[in-house]
Amino acid sequence: METIGFWISPLLLLPGAGMLVMSTSQRFNRLHDEIHHLLEDKPEMNTETYLHLLKRANYFRNSLVLLYVSISFFAIAGLVGGITSGIINFSFYLTVGLTILGICCLAAAALLLIKESTLSLEILKIHLKDIDIK
């Protein structure tokens, strides 16, 4: 039973990564809708807002790619660990290495999402400056 524990561990991280993918995809779709709304209304947009929206789109895309890569590493780690579980040392190091790569991708995606959130706040501040308060 001991050998099962280490190759099942990366698979336990999959649901959390999956939830991050769902939430990030949903936020990316909202950005997509916002850009389409801007295109339809054809308002005048300053360069700063345009650049922020473009950066946000890139952050979302890069985050999603890293999340998908992370999920791939977790799945491959579980698969490789299960297949090679008879070769304890090899299986352990390979599974742990792939899991670490998956965790690194997950952390990088989280950092990009933090950057996107900060940029989103900057866009809101720009929009709020444009509103006339009476």
Residue-wise pLDDT tens digits, 72-125: 888 888 888 777 776 767 777 887 888 888 888 888 988 888 888 888 878 777
Spell out the domain ranges in the chain.
2-128
**pLDDT, averaged across the chain:** 79
Q: pLDDT tier at 128 (50, 70, 90 boundaries)? A: low
Label residues 69-103 b or e (16+ Cβ within 10 Å = b): bbbebbbbbbebbeebbeeeeebbebbbebbebbb
pLDDT in tens, 36-83: 777 777 667 677 777 888 888 888 888 888 888 988 888 888 888 777
CA distance readout (Å), 129 to 39, 106, 123: 21, 35, 10
